[in-house]
Amino acid sequence: MKVGVYGLGRFGFFWSELLARKFDVSGYNRSSLAVKPSNVTLVEEDIILQSDVLFLCVSISSMEQVLKNITGRIKPGCIVFDTCSVKIYPINIMKSLLGEKVEIIGLHPMFGPDSGKDGVEDLPLVFIPVRNKLDAAEKWKKIFTDYGMRVIEITADLHDRDAAFTQGITHFIGRVLNELQLKESNISTMGYKSLLTIVEQTCNDPFQLFMDLQHYNPYTHDMRHKLNGSLKKTMAMLADADPVRDL
Amino acid sequence: MKVGVYGLGRFGFFWSELLARKFDVSGYNRSSLAVKPSNVTLVEEDIILQSDVLFLCVSISSMEQVLKNITGRIKPGCIVFDTCSVKIYPINIMKSLLGEKVEIIGLHPMFGPDSGKDGVEDLPLVFIPVRNKLDAAEKWKKIFTDYGMRVIEITADLHDRDAAFTQGITHFIGRVLNELQLKESNISTMGYKSLLTIVEQTCNDPFQLFMDLQHYNPYTHDMRHKLNGSLKKTMAMLADADPVRDL
């Protein structure tokens, strides 16, 4: 079985190395790489599209263009997985742009190079069969389970609702705090150290991922609106209760 | 040496038990306690004021009233430590309200029952000699160092500046997110789990501590103003870049 990873950015690089522990993995990236993922064979686009299983690891915002570009050249019978951090949007465009001859499964590994650096044991992987043979789904669920991942089958809508208020809010807080250029201090509390780690790790991810998470998940607008409301409420509460001391 | 802890709220309770590992500790609380700290003798207010060393573990906002109430009754020669999470304000009122017959040292253990539950090894303790004999300061720095704490001598101003953007911002984010009633999810990322822990731990502390941290540290207003600005900037940046897709 030939496994291909299309896109070797921060996540694709990590994901291809993880898959290469168990499979013969090829990888394709549109631009050349300074460092290549271990045990992964770099190939041209036409070759990667001949894989039996293809993991798309491109940015959410480039999915439409990538799919339009590759749809006619993917090997018939190929199982195509996306790995986007939102699910409604990429699944809809995969359904509309990929022909009936390929199978489609939506995937969101809820981890990456930072959170998965010490292993993927017990980390959640959202798995959404879209248009596929039953045995393909069962086979791949078993593969991910064997890696130790916690495979979770939910709808794309439920994923996006939940992710907006979990992953989405974390990245949003991380980026907002990053603007403040917070620094380590010798009087840091444990809580503050955790906060700095969140800022660092969310900002390790590409800026495009942050933007796409906020734009392509239909529930993040509501999250940001509620967060803004909560900030205003807390500010107003503090102002009302201010003893207005001359400190 | 008789060590007294005045105020057995969430922090005083924890602090008195910690001191009781090495000293004969008495504790006083204005209201009766459902549970008493281990190895601490509960006494009346007049008795606690006869201690050789007195730790004030009352809320920042009640410091002035408490000091006015006890100042004439503290044993001459007593070393009085405050333990407030801000330092300029309580040190100023201690200097003005406590007579010359007592010594004064400002203290801020940058930990509490949550962050110190697995031990206080390497946790920072801010130590500010205010009006004291040199040997009293040296003796107590050694005691805290022997506990494993990292004793840090800085000015009250530097403490408050730093704490506004470390402890202050952490509590503020914790309270703002708490308003959203975020929940654990089976697809939580590691970053989101850390965020939930921050919310939980900051909200374990008394609401009064949050309010006082924000009101009695002269630098928290600037922190909140900058945080609000960063939120607005991030919101505007997202709005500008929105592809306005019909998702």
Task: Count structural domains, chain B.
Answer: 2
**What is the pLDDT, as a whole number, of residue B169?**
97
Q: Is residue A6 part of a domain?
A: yes
Same domain, A149 and A169: no
Would you call B194 and A191 a contact, using CB atoms and an 8 Å cutoff? no
**What is the pLDDT, as a whole number, of residue A204?**
94
Query: Which residues on chain B are in Cβ contact (under 8 Å) with A89?
Result: 245, 247
Q: Closest Cα of chain B to A239: distance in Å?
A: 9
End residue of a domain, out of B121, B154, B187: B154
- What's the pLDDT band for A247 if we cut at 50, 70, 90? very low
- Distance CA(B12)–CA(A45), nearest Å, equals 65
Cβ pair A247, B216 in contact under 8 A: yes
Q: Give tens-digit pLDDT for A127-136.
A: 999 999 989 9
Indicate whether B211 pLDDT > 50.
Answer: yes
Interval A161-166 mean pLDDT: 97
Supply the mean pLDDT for chain A. Answer: 96
Burial class (CB in 10 A: 0-12, 13-18, 19+), B150: middle
Cβ pair A135, A79 in contact under 8 A: no
Q: Is residue B93 part of a domain?
A: yes
Q: Give tens-digit pLDDT for A108-127.
A: 999 999 999 999 999 999 99
- Distance CA(B87)–CA(B92), nearest Å, equals 8
Same domain, A146 and A172: no
**What is the pLDDT, as a whole number, of residue B245?**
52
- Distance CA(B5)–CA(B56), nearest Å, equals 6
Cβ pair A83, A107 in contact under 8 A: yes
- Distance CA(A220)–CA(B161), nearest Å, equals 34
Supply the mean pLDDT for chain B. Answer: 96
Would you call B180 and A243 a contact, using CB atoms and an 8 Å cutoff? no
Q: Give tens-digit pLDDT for B30-51.
A: 999 999 999 999 999 999 999 9
Would you call B115 and A201 a contact, using CB atoms and an 8 Å cutoff? no
Q: Closest Cα of chain B to A124: distance in Å?
A: 6
Q: Is residue A246 part of a domain?
A: no
- Tokens for A185, please give them: 């201090």
**What is the pLDDT, as a whole number, of residue B244?**
65
- Residue in A61, A150, A186 closest to B152 by CB: A186
Same domain, A190 and A80: no
b/e sequence A33-65, b meaning 16+ C-beta within 10 Å: eeebbeebbbbeeeebbebebbbbbbbbbebbe
- Distance CA(A123)–CA(A247), nearest Å, equals 49
Burial class (CB in 10 A: 0-12, 13-18, 19+), B199: buried
Would you call A169 and B186 a contact, using CB atoms and an 8 Å cutoff? no
Contacting residues for B222 by C-beta, under 8 A, at least 6 apart? B164
Query: Which residues on chain A are in Cβ contact (under 8 Å) with B172?
Result: 234
Which range has the worst mean pLDDT, A28-37, A209-218, A238-247, B142-151?
A: A238-247
Q: Is residue B159 part of a domain?
A: no
Nearest to B202 by CA among B238, B177, B230, B165: B177
Would you call B177 and A169 a contact, using CB atoms and an 8 Å cutoff? yes
Same domain, B130 and B200: no
**What is the pLDDT, as a whole number, of residue B240?**
87
**What is the pLDDT, as a whole number, of residue B208?**
95
End residue of a domain, out of A112, A130, A154: A154
Same domain, B146 and B200: no
Interval A184-209 mean pLDDT: 96
Indicate whether B20 pLDDT > 90.
Answer: yes
Same domain, A81 and A140: yes
Same domain, B29 and B92: yes
Query: Which residues on chain A are in Cβ contact (under 8 Å) with B163?
Result: 187
End residue of a domain, out of A127, A154, A181: A154
- What's the pLDDT band for B246 if we cut at 50, 70, 90? very low
H helix runs in chain A, sequence order: 10-19, 45-48, 63-70, 88-97, 134-146, 156-164, 167-179, 190-204, 207-216, 220-241
Would you call B162 and A187 a contact, using CB atoms and an 8 Å cutoff? yes
- Distance CA(B58)–CA(B218), nearest Å, equals 20
- Tokens for B242, please give them: 């929105």
**What is the pLDDT, as a whole number, of residue B139?**
97
- Distance CA(B119)–CA(B117), nearest Å, equals 6
Q: Is residue A247 part of a domain?
A: no
Q: Is residue A41 part of a domain?
A: yes
- Distance CA(B217)–CA(B170), nearest Å, equals 14
Q: Give tens-digit pLDDT for B64-106.
A: 999 999 999 999 999 999 999 999 999 999 999 999 999 999 9
b/e sequence A176-193, b meaning 16+ C-beta within 10 Å: bbbbeebeebebbbbbbe
Query: Which residues on chain A are in Cβ contact (under 8 Å) with B114?
Result: 190
- Tokens for B89, please give them: 């304000």
- What's the pLDDT band for B247 if we cut at 50, 70, 90? very low
Nearest CA in chain B to A178: B230
Indicate whether A41 pLDDT > 90.
Answer: yes
Full-model pTM: 0.92
Same domain, A89 and A143: yes
Indicate whether A246 pLDDT > 60.
Answer: no
Nearest to A66 by CA among A9, A6, A14: A6
Q: Is residue A55 part of a domain?
A: yes
Four-residue CA torsion sign, B190, B191, B194, B196: negative
**What is the pLDDT, as a whole number, of residue A183?**
95
DSSP state at residue A247: -
- Distance CA(A106)–CA(A86), nearest Å, equals 10
Residue range of the domain that includes A226: 165-239
- Distance CA(A177)–CA(A191), nearest Å, equals 14
Would you call A189 and B179 a contact, using CB atoms and an 8 Å cutoff? no
Q: Tell me, what CATH number does B8's domain have?
A: 3.40.50.720
Q: How many CB atoms lie within 10 A of CB A25?
A: 23
Q: Is residue B73 part of a domain?
A: yes
Same domain, B110 and B183: no
- What's the pLDDT band for B176 if we cut at 50, 70, 90? very high
* Residues pairing with A108 in the sheet: A126
Q: Give tens-digit pLDDT for A8-22.
A: 999 999 999 999 999
Same domain, A193 and A101: no
Same domain, A170 and A192: yes
Cβ pair B4, B106 in contact under 8 A: no
- What's the pLDDT band for A245 if we cut at 50, 70, 90? low
Same domain, A208 and A143: no
